[in-house]
Structure 1
């Protein structure tokens, strides 16, 4: 298996949404077949990778990131199906439009940090389970996952991870705006 830490450079950062509810379903497979798990990255959906290098992230950038994410509402989603890229098996978030909106907002604010370094024309939100594997391995993993899905989660924040040269560590957590709750007035009006 490839060394997960060898894929990254010290000081690299990522904006992700952790999905702890998926760990019981995907954790064992990720440990075996996803190099990012070996490098300390939990089950997640990337909002933007790579983001700015760590030495370009000071209080002003952290404040701007917090403001940007605070302008987007929290949301619920589920993972009920798998998808594939060449050599990659992933869980597909449903709906995925909120992730796309978050990615587009960050990329518009920091155009020097295009998603995946600009390697792909379209960003497809996903939770990677296996990476760099043969189709037969992906078939086995997908068959197991099909019996264990869906996974539901509530997304209320985005995390900033930094690679320290050995593992990824969480540096900051940015809250999304809480959903507005309509409370009826005593006279029955809203």
Structure 2
């Protein structure tokens, strides 16, 4: 993919993530939590310009810092997201105002890294940002799944003998 296509993918994914994080969403929807981050990582790693050919060490250091910021953003975002269990045993989540602060700090640090790289004359490709975004989503999703599994689910209503099956309620016929 070209740099423009990568940039458009990044903007689209970030916009989708930001919009979705403030809506209440169900966590246990049955789809694999690692799929979107894996697709983004493969797209980023397929690009040949991940490291600058003329500044390999500096570009590798910037990439490492970008990945660390991405992972830290994912951890912060996951731990500032509110999760709860509804009566139907469904696990739900919604980001908080603190999650916005985590995103703002993460984006600010990434802009600072880009400025540092530009000041040092290191060419930075959008695939590094795409890879860090994949890391952010992977860590956040993994922690959210782990947190959701540790929540206590309510007992199934009507399971008098604790065998896990719900008994139908008696219906009167008139």
TM over 0.5: no
Larger radius of gyration: 2
Bigger helix share: 2
What TM-score, normalized to structure 1? 0.27
